């Protein structure tokens, strides 16, 4: 059984593991106040081209989302997100459990637009009973989105401007940011993201680390007292240096982008094979998640040999599913899957 169902089926990239081994018996202070964390933060600030950024390391994505949002909002405020946004769908109501409504908007391939944000803010302002509704205060986007799609530079810039005009924070969930930055059609880089967003994170869990997300903040309001929140929400790792060490490994020598690029290349290869074999994509994207639409009979056959995840029903006999590549995907496994696809298709 070969697993393609997610990008966290393996441990960490060998260079990450090596560095964990090397530093294992070093003595450091706890809670992320050690030199590895300081150094990793420095590397990230450099990569973002901004020395004034605050960088904090958290263990996972839901934790990062919940902690950032709970720290940013007052109790009567909510966070705007796509209906398909991870915080709206797949975090067991973590945001609501901290007291805040997710103001869900219809999406286009997992994305929302500046125009949608403007409209929602205007409607709130103009509502005669505005105090009876949740005040929008933050926009949450993911990049790549849950559909593997990317925001263009223009889209992100416009969202950023809409947020500033309306007094909202812009928060970018970068759980798979590496696969976005390395994609063939990507238009963004870290300095640009850092300048557009009030806060975002660079995902480690899905991009070569055992675990870890580097939260980067440019907005001073959000920086204030943030470590209290990490502790209160259960995210302060006693041996915090484990996060620093891993991000040192990922950010030194371009490892983060290098392994992302490879995963995207394998995804492209697989995507082309799906299409060639007659299985169209649910959405167009060039990152490490692939969403082919396939006949249920074919899926049943494949499921004996490959792990993938179910996405959505398309019609009575077809479903969209998800295959992921990652830094750990072996090319031979991709080739084996392609060979199996070619045996089946093109069919309808």
6 binds a second copy (CB under 8 A): yes
* Dist. CA 180–CA 174, nearest whole Å: 9
When asked if residue 154 is in the footprint of a second copy (CB under 8 A), the reply is: no
Of 35, 49, 119, 228, the one binding a second copy (CB under 8 A) is: 228
Stretch of residues binding a second copy (CB under 8 A), selected from 57-65, 258-266, 295-303, 336-344: 57-65
DSSP per position, 159-207 = HHHHHHHHT-EEEEE-TTHHHHHTSTT----HHHHHHH-SEEEEE-TTT
Question: Per-residue x/- marks for a second copy, 246-285, CB under 8 A?
Answer: ----------------------------------------
In the chain, the N- to C-terminal Cα span, in Å, equals: 26
CB 133 within 8 A of CB 124: yes
| Smallest distance, a second copy to C-beta of residue 220, A | 15
Any bridge partners for residue 77, and if so which? 135
CB of 327: closest distance to a second copy in angstroms? 11
CA distances from 314 to 148, 280, 282 (A): 18, 12, 9
Q: Among 234, 254, 280, 346, which residue interacts with a second copy (rule: CB under 8 A)?
A: 234
Bridge partners, residue 223, by sequence: none
In this chain, which stretch among 40-48, 159-167, 182-190, 206-214 interacts with a second copy, using CB under 8 A?
206-214
Kindly indicate which of the ranges 179-187, 188-196, 237-245, 268-276 contains the residues binding a second copy, using the contact rule CB under 8 A: 237-245
Q: Output 185 or 220, the one with its CB closest to a second copy.
A: 220
Q: By CB under 8 A, how many residues form the interface with a second copy?
A: 77
The residue (of 93 and 346) whose beta carbon lies closer to a second copy is 93
Subset of 298-337 contacting a second copy (CB under 8 A): 307, 309-310, 328
Burial 21-30 (b: 16+ CB within 10 A, else e): eebeeeebee
The CB-of-70 to a second copy minimum distance in angstroms stands at 6
For a second copy, the binding residues in 84-113 under the rule CB under 8 A are 89-94, 96-102
Label residue 205 exposed, middle or buried (CB < 10 Å: 0-12, 13-18, 19+). buried
């Amino acid at each position: 059984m070969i697993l393609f169902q997610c990008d966290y089926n393996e441990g960490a990239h060998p260079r990450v593991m090596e560095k964990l081994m090397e530093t294992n018996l070093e003595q450091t202070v706890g809670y992320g106040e050690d030199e590895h964390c300081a150094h990793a933060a420095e590397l990230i600030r450099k990569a973002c081209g901004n020395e004034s950024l605050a960088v904090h390391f958290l263990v996972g994505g839901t934790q990062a989302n919940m902690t950032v949002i709970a720290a940013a909002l007052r109790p009567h405020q909510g966070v705007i997100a796509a209906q398909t946004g991870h915080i709206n769908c797949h975090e067991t109501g973590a945001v609501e459990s901290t007291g805040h409504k997710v103001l869900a908007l219809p999406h286009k391939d997992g994305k929302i637009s500046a125009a949608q944000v403007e409209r929602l803010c205007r409607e709130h302002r103009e509502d005669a009973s505005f105090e009876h509704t949740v005040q929008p205060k933050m926009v949450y986007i993911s990049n790549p989105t849950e559909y593997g799609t990317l925001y263009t530079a223009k889209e992100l810039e416009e969202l950023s401007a809409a947020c500033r005009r309306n007094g909202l924070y812009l928060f970018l969930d970068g759980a798979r940011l590496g696969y976005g930055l390395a994609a063939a059609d990507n238009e963004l880089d870290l300095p640009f993201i850092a300048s557009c967003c009030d806060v975002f994170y660079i995902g480690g869990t899905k991009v070569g680390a055992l675990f870890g997300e580097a939260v980067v903040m440019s907005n001073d309001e959000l920086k204030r007292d943030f470590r209290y929140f990490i502790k209160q929400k259960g995210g302060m790792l006693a041996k915090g240096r484990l996060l620093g060490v891993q991000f040192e490994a990922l950010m030194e020598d371009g490892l983060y982008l290098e392994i992302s690029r490879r995963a995207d290349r394998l995804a492209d290869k697989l995507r082309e094979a799906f299409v060639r074999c007659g299985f169209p994509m649910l959405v167009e994207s060039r990152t490490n998640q692939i969403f082919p639409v396939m006949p249920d009979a074919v899926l049943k056959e494949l499921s004996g040999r490959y792990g993938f995840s179910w996405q959505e029903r398309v019609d009575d006999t077809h479903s969209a599913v998800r295959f992921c590549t990652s830094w750990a995907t072996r090319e031979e496994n991709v080739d084996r899957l392609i060979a199996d696809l070619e045996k089946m298709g093109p069919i309808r």
